[in-house]
Amino acid sequence: MNATSLLTDAPNFEAILAAHKRISPHIHRTPVLTSTSLDEIAGARLFFKCENLQKTGSFKIRGATNAIFSLTDQEARQGVVAPSSGNHAAAMALAARWRGIPAFIVMPSNSSAAKVKAVEFYGGKITYCEPHMASREATCAEVMRNTGAHLVHPYDDARVIAGQGTAALELLEEVSDLDVLVTPASGGGLLSGSAIAAKNMRPGIRAIGGEPSNADDAYRSLKAGKIEPAAKSETMADGLRATLSPLTFSILKSLVDEISLVTEEEIVAAMLLLWERTKLVVEPSGAVAAAPALNRKIRAEGKKIGIILSGGNLDLHKLPF
């Protein structure tokens, strides 16, 4: 199944409800935390959905579990393939273990030792590729040919998007009168699923994506009305280097109100504030969703803002502060 064919399968709110039922026995219902001192800084009331406390340390386990447990026994038998060097890789390895099938992870040869270790810890079988898109796709195709395994893309997949939307579903179940919801933008899986859940549960809510200025392709794509290529510059938010897919672009175009850009300095400052005040280990990509509110970059004075802290995986020996 290639990317564009999934457009016809765009996920809806019912798919998110079904995903939630499917994955709830496996995942954590993560807490929603608040901080009076961060509220003062933001001039608004912030509700943090703590996906850094989720199994495997990020929301990615939601989409991976939904995709893997949606497979028929026949489809699942040969295992699954995931191209990812990050949180999706670890999530796929663990969800596949729960289902009792192999997970073939295609990772760039320059992946960090910590990421390789995490995938191996959860039992994933790694095939290395060259660190560029062409090699990744070719290697994925080869692994699929050799194993007969089923591809689960990190975000260009309706089942994954429906799974990622369950974090916003839980957040709005708990805080039903949110005015704004912010998630990282990145490839758009979490943002798409979150926007679908939020706009169905609370029609007037504003759905906002946080994005590093140094990786502003979602911002440019929504401005231009077509998918724009990735920026060349580097961001410390290494989970957010992906570009939109046709599926996520189409959902974002119709449901997302704003992409809010944040500088590298704002990401570090947000991260430090989160660690200091909420006592949570949040990765730079997670801080990207909090940075717009903490820097008062979105019009939301006195409002209730839901923020999905997407993950907490990073090298504690190489902190940016």
What residues between 146 and 185 interact with a second copy by CB under 8 A?
none
Which of 87, 214, 260, 278: binder of a second copy (CB under 8 A)? Answer: 278
Judged by CB under 8 A, does residue 318 bind a second copy? no
Return the amino acid letter for 146.
Answer: N
Determine the Cα–Cα distance for residues 55 and 34; give it in Å rounded to an integer: 21
Q: Which is nearer to a second copy, 55 or 136 (CB)?
A: 55
How far apart are the two ends of the chain, measured CA to CA in Å? 43
CB of 7 to a second copy, least distance (A): 35
Supply φ then ψ for residue 23, to 5 degrees.
Answer: -95, -20
Judged by CB under 8 A, does residue 279 bind a second copy? yes
Three-state secondary-structure class, residue 33 = strand
Q: Which is nearer to a second copy, 182 or 282 (CB)?
A: 282
CB of 50 to a second copy, least distance (A): 8
Q: Which is nearer to a second copy, 17 or 41 (CB)?
A: 41
Question: x/- contact string, 100-139, with a second copy (CB under 8 A)?
Answer: ---------------------x------------------
Q: Which is nearer to a second copy, 36 or 110 (CB)?
A: 36
Q: Which stretch binds a second copy (CB under 8 A): 63-71, 158-166, 185-193, 275-283?
A: 275-283
Judged by CB under 8 A, does residue 276 bind a second copy? yes
Determine the Cα–Cα distance for residues 280 and 270; give it in Å rounded to an integer: 12
CB of 271 to a second copy, least distance (A): 10
Count of beta carbons in the 10 Å neighbourhood of residue 291: 31
Judged by CB under 8 A, does residue 321 bind a second copy? yes
Q: Which stretch binds a second copy (CB under 8 A): 81-89, 98-106, 256-264, 309-317?
A: 309-317
Which helix (H) or strand (E) covers residue 211, if one does?
strand 206-212
Q: Binding-site residue total for a second copy (CB under 8 A)?
A: 22
Who contacts 76 (Cβ-Cβ below 8 Å, separation ≥6)? 68, 99, 101, 150
Determine the Cα–Cα distance for residues 267 and 273; give it in Å rounded to an integer: 10
CA distances from 8 to 4, 5, 158, 247 (A): 8, 6, 9, 9
DSSP 49-81: EEGGGSGGGBTHHHHHHHHHHHS-HHHHTT-EE
Q: Which is nearer to a second copy, 89 or 261 (CB)?
A: 89
Residue count (the chain):
321
What residues between 27 and 86 interact with a second copy by CB under 8 A?
31, 33, 36-37, 52-53, 55, 57
Residues that bind a second copy (CB under 8 A): 31, 33, 36-37, 52-53, 55, 57, 121, 272, 275-276, 278-282, 312, 316-317, 319, 321
